[in-house]
Structure 1
Amino acid sequence: MRRIENAFVTLNGAVLVLGLAFMSVVVGWNVFARYALPSAPAWADEVARYSMIWLTFLGAGLALREGAHAAIANAQEALPSPAQRLVRILILLIMFGFFAYMVWVGIDYMNRMSVQKSAALRVPMKWVYAAMPVGFVLLMIHLALIAPRYLRAGFQYSDEAHVG
């Protein structure tokens, strides 16, 4: 199971690196074209914006693994051990519920935007909005993978909790 988790995290990270490299090339080309050529490509701003949206949602799960999202851990850590475990179970259930709800909302919103097309690329906007349900599904997978460690130790960063 640990090998599958490592492969999943590595693949998620590789997709982010490739996406960021792609977005950097597009933005760099656009800046160069604006100042050195007679005209810049009209599609570059859209590609950069939509890449950033996708990268944000694709990277949220990796940030969750590292405890990089905003959290208030002091109150939880001040409790006795059995109460900490109960609070952590409650937190996990709330997070799973919220992520599942956001997948549903994202799919609904994506379907509502299926007739709209982007201005420059003429791409159906549902593919841009698909980042939301995909990102929250990834968040659910990452949360399921780190849940056992979180129940034992919370979001404390350690070599044992760090996969990758």
Structure 2
Amino acid sequence: MAFEDPSVYLDDPNRKLLEIDTDARQGPALFRWLTLGMEYLIGAILVALIVAVSSNVVGRAAFNVSLPWADELARMLFIWLVFIGAAAAFSRYEHIAVDALVRRLPLRVAHMLYLLQHMIITGLMVVMIWGGYQVLSRSSGRSAIMNIPLSLVSLSLVLCVIFIAAVSLWRMWVSVKVIRHPHRHSADPEGGR
């Protein structure tokens, strides 16, 4: 019984024009820099999260003292980590997807589906931006222990969905170009710049 090489499923030639790759300098420079910045921010948040949780564990185990601010900080950092991570993963096309059909379609038809996909994503992000704005504008509370404005926590959601909406709009524009002129983009791997 012969098994297929799993690496063939990592790259989708139909989707190549829509990818943002900082190493290959593919995609708009602003999105590449924001993605790279988000990845460094994710690393810093992860280190801070580990320090906050570890300090509380050590405080409880070694000194029998709980650090209430550490739990509150860890909760806030985790929220930021989730939303910034979601935006960075979307930028790099790293969210889980079932693309068995799209891989087998001709380039033009695949981009028709990508256009539909990103129209739906953009619509959902607009709804989330509106909801996030409502939460931010009505949020006047502060955290119980650290006295941090709760709107700062909600800001992570708004920034995440604005970035995802912007990337979706760019991908829709690229897909429209491919649908209109598929022959220009089939042989040109750098056509998505």
**Fold equivalence (TM over 0.5):** yes
For the 8 Å contact 1:60–1:135, the answer to whether it is kept is: yes
Over aligned residue pairs, what C-alpha RMSD do you find? 2.7
Q: Does 1:104 align with 2:119?
A: no
User: In the alignment, which residue of structure 2 is the partner of 1:94?
Assistant: 120
User: In the alignment, which residue of structure 1 is the partner of 2:59?
Assistant: 33
Q: 1:15-94 maps to which residues of 2 (within 5 A)?
A: 15-94=41-120
Aligned length: 153
For the 8 Å contact 1:46–1:121, the answer to whether it is kept is: yes
Task: Write the distance in 1 (CA, Å) between the matches of 2:107 and 2:171.
Answer: 19
User: Taking structure 1 as reference, are residues 117 and 4 closer, same or farther at Cα in structure 2, changes over 3 Å only?
Assistant: closer
Task: Write the distance in 2 (CA, Å) between the matches of 1:20 and 1:146.
Answer: 29
Amino acid in structure 2 at the alignment position of 1:13: E
Structure 1, residues 31-83: CA drift from partner, whole Å, max 9, x if none? 11111124121111010011000111111122113332232222333444432
User: Taking structure 1 as reference, are residues 2 and 82 closer, same or farther at Cα in structure 2, changes over 3 Å only?
Assistant: closer
Query: Unaligned regions of 5+ residues in structure 1, if any?
Result: 153-159
TM-score (norm 2): 0.68
Q: Does 1:138 align with 2:167?
A: no
TM-score (norm 1): 0.78
User: In the alignment, which residue of structure 1 is the partner of 2:140?
Assistant: 115
Amino acid in structure 2 at the alignment position of 1:135: C
SS of aligned partner of 1:71? coil
Amino acid in structure 2 at the alignment position of 1:34: R
- Asked which structure has the greater CA Rg, the reply is 2
% of aligned pairs identical? 25
For the 8 Å contact 2:122–2:165, the answer to whether it is kept is: yes
User: Taking structure 1 as reference, are residues 99 and 44 closer, same or farther at Cα in structure 2, changes over 3 Å only?
Assistant: same
Query: Unaligned regions of 5+ residues in structure 2, if any?
Result: 1-26, 179-189
For the 8 Å contact 2:119–2:168, the answer to whether it is kept is: no
For the 8 Å contact 1:61–1:142, the answer to whether it is kept is: no
Q: Which runs of 4+ in 1 moved over 6 A?
A: none
User: In the alignment, which residue of structure 2 is the partner of 1:156?
Assistant: none
SS of aligned partner of 1:130? helix
Task: Write the distance in 1 (CA, Å) between the matches of 2:52 and 2:167.
Answer: 30
